[in-house]
């Protein structure tokens, strides 16, 4: 994993005077790539790289060059390709040779051989750019689910791209500005984001499963992959067998690493399955896997059962520790530490995020990095296998709109009156919701629950999962930790999209198909454990701390938050216990207070200028 960036201008001849700007951009990527730095530039292009060395440490340096059949190509790349060896064998068969064993080199040779057709051959997570100096052409691409980020901005004849927004902001042509749309994203969509929207004025993100070309003809962007519906003729037993094979294969492929690797372990179904498969693989090869779990000081004392969080993780972590041969590391977070880390989490994400759900992950990843450089995590199983309440609860499933963000009317109450008159948040959100449903590929004959669940899957993959993947990438890479997500394998998603809801909800168990498919991998009490989301603190001290911090913001007459939000509404928030989640299942009153703290810090730290255009 790494950080990439670049500047392309076909009308300008770059000179050494631009080096300080490129070095400044590279410096912002140091956390993503602490091991090596690289810079290539010629008359019209600069490609910037900061490397986290995981595979072929000695020979995987970037930018990487290749001369092939009269063409010269230069690559910068962030990601991991999990079918590297299969691709290498194909390329060797048609005359390519390799200096090392990195996936970077295979990716570059693969692009030289197949061009954009390479994308549909890849199994992995990636964002990369290939510059071809002789023809003045830049090619950009991002993986099917957008696990790895890629932002860009056009400024006149200049194209800038980068793994993170902060890197674009390090260039003098990109200003920290937002307009009405950006404000609407933060206050109505946040911490989610419209696909392709970078929130900052003129900043875009190449959407998942998209590629783009920039040359003398301008910028051209297109989607190279999407989910397609198809009839499923498999029996339940056949479906379970396919799922078992796909899940096992995805996990095993992602265990390849030349540096230390571990697994997240919450004691829930998804992370436990990954840890169990990895543990067996490691044990068979004479090694001992490291697993990592997180909890909060005194959380068992303050834990509150709810519909969304029926039990805490500690008991199930203990059971998995006895079951596995792995070496478990339990990270105990102090609730008080989550509040100051809220601001660091904003700087990692470059945007307000999921409050302490972000800051706790940032602190957790920092501890994991002390032991390993790569970790596997259970994200994306709920989106693909239908684990969330909005898939299974008929009342929630039937509601119009994004099921994780039913708070539009409440959010409107926070806007200053002059802004509320200009922004129709409900219309903005509804338009995005309708667009996603209209673009979902669903067979005409698919009806009832099956149709609604496919709509839910399209909504989740396009929106909610992107928020979680953003969070996982930024919070982990802030400490130079590479996190892989085996369930986010396009083969699993393609197949599960076609499977009937009755299979996924087998015998009315959430993710029943996954549980049945993976019988034998886990103790029954873990295999059939009811879903419990990412752990959060229940200690009242956290609410007290963030409440006091928001009171201090309200006491500051120059607080930028008050330029956009009503003081009275924020004061009311401090005195209430709102049961409507701000976003998802976890962001209740303490997290909503924390979100506004993050918004204020974001506005202040980035010196955001509001452009009322």
Which positions make up the binding site for L-glutamine? Answer: 103
The residues that are catalytic are 2
Both tokens assigned to 422: 């200009």
Q: How many CB atoms lie within 10 A of CB 97?
A: 7
**What span, in angstroms and rounded, lies between the C-alpha atoms of 156 and 172?**
13
Angstrom CA distances, 111 to 7, 63, 121, 130, stand at 21, 15, 11, 9
DSSP three-state, residue 361:
helix
**Binding site, residues?**
103, 294, 377-378
Token pair for residue 93?
């068969």
Q: Give the helix ranges, DSSP H, for 478-579.
A: 490-498, 501-504, 512-517, 524-527, 540-555, 567-574
CA 247 vs. chain centroid, Å, equals: 20
- For residues 309 and 388, give the distance between their C-alpha atoms in angstroms, rounded to a whole number: 11
For the chain, the residue count is 613
Instruction: Give 497's strand partners.
Output: none
User: Collapsing DSSP states into helix, strand and coil, what is residue 66?
Assistant: strand
| Cα–Cα nearest to 487, from 503, 501, 468 | 468
- 74 forms bridges with which residues in the sheet? 65, 131
Computed over its alpha carbons, how large is the radius of gyration of the chain? Answer: 24
Q: In Å, how far are 304, 477, 511 from 480, measured between CA atoms?
A: 34, 4, 32
| Feature table: binding site for ATP | 294, 377-378
Residue whose token pair is 């040359």: 215
Longest dimension (CA), the chain: 70
Q: What's the gap between Cα 548 and its chain centre?
A: 31
Three-state SS at 210: strand
CA–CA distance, 564 with 408 (Å, rounded to integer)? 16
């Amino acid at each position: 994993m790494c950080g990439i960036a670049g500047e392309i201008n076909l009308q300008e001849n770059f000179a050494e005077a631009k080096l300080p700007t490129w070095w400044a951009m590279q410096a912002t990527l140091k956390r993503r790539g602490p091991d090596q730095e690289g810079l290539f530039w010629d008359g019209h292009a600069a490609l910037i790289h900061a490397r986290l060395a995981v595979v072929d440490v000695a020979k995987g340096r970037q930018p990487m060059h290749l001369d092939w059949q009269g063409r010269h190509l230069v690559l910068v790349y962030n990601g991991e390709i999990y079918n590297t060896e299969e691709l290498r064998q194909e390329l060797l068969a048609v005359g390519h040779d390799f200096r090392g064993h990195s996936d970077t080199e295979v990716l570059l040779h693969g692009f030289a051989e197949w061009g954009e057709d390479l994308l549909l051959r890849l199994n992995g997570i990636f964002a990369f750019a290939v510059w071809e100096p002789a023809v003045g052409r830049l090619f950009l691409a991002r993986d099917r689910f957008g696990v790895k980020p890629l932002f860009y901005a056009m400024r006149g004849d200049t194209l800038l791209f980068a793994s993170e927004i902060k890197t674009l902001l390090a260039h003098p042509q990109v200003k920290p500005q937002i307009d009405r749309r950006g404000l609407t994203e933060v206050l109505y969509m946040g911490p989610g984001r419209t696909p392709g929207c970078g929130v900052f004025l003129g900043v875009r993100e190449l959407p998942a499963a998209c590629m783009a070309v920039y040359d003398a003809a301008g910028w051209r962007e297109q989607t190279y992959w999407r989910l397609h519906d198809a009839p499923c003729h498999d029996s339940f037993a056949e479906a379970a067998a396919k799922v078992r094979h796909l899940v096992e294969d995805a996990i095993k492929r992602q265990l390849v690493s030349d540096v230390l690797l571990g697994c997240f372990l919450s004691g829930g179904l998804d992370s436990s399955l990954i840890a169990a498969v990895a543990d067996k693989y490691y044990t068979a090869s004479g090694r001992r896997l490291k697993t990592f779990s997180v909890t909060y000081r005194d959380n068992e004392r303050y834990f509150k059962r709810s519909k969304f969080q029926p039990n805490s993780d500690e008991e199930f972590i203990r059971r998995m520790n006895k079951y596995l041969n792995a070496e478990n590391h339990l990270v105990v977070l102090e609730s008080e530490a989550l509040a100051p880390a809220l601001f660091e989490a904003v700087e990692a994400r470059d945007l307000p995020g999921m409050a302490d759900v972000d800051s706790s992950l940032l602190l957790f990843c920092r501890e994991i990095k002390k032991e390993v450089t790569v970790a596997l995590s259970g994200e994306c199983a709920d989106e693909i296998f239908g684990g969330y309440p909005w898939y299974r609860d008929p009342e929630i499933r039937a509601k119009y709109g994004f099921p994780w963000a039913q708070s539009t009317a409440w959010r409107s109450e926070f806007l200053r009156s002059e802004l509320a008159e200009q922004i129709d948040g409900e219309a903005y959100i509804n338009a995005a919701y309708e667009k996603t449903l209209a673009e979902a590929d669903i067979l005409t004959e698919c009806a009832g629950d099956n149709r609604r669940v496919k709509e839910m899957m399209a909504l989740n993959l396009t929106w909610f999962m992107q928020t979680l993947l953003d969070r996982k990438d930024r919070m982990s890479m802030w400490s130079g930790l590479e996190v892989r997500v085996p369930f986010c394998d396009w083969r699993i998603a393609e197949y599960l999209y076609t499977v009937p809801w009755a299979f996924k909800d087998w015998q009315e168990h959430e993710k029943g198909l996954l549980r049945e498919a993976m019988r034998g991998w886990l103790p029954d009490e873990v295999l059939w454990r009811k879903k419990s989301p990412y752990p959060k603190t229940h200690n009242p001290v956290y609410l007290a701390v963030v409440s006091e911090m928001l009171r201090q913001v309200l006491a500051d007459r120059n607080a930028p938050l008050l330029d956009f939000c009503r003081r009275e509404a924020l004061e009311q928030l401090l005195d209430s216990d709102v049961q409507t989640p701000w976003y998802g299942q976890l962001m209740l009153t303490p997290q909503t207070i924390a979100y506004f703290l993050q918004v204020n810090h974001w506005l202040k730290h980035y010196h955001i200028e509001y452009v009322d255009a």
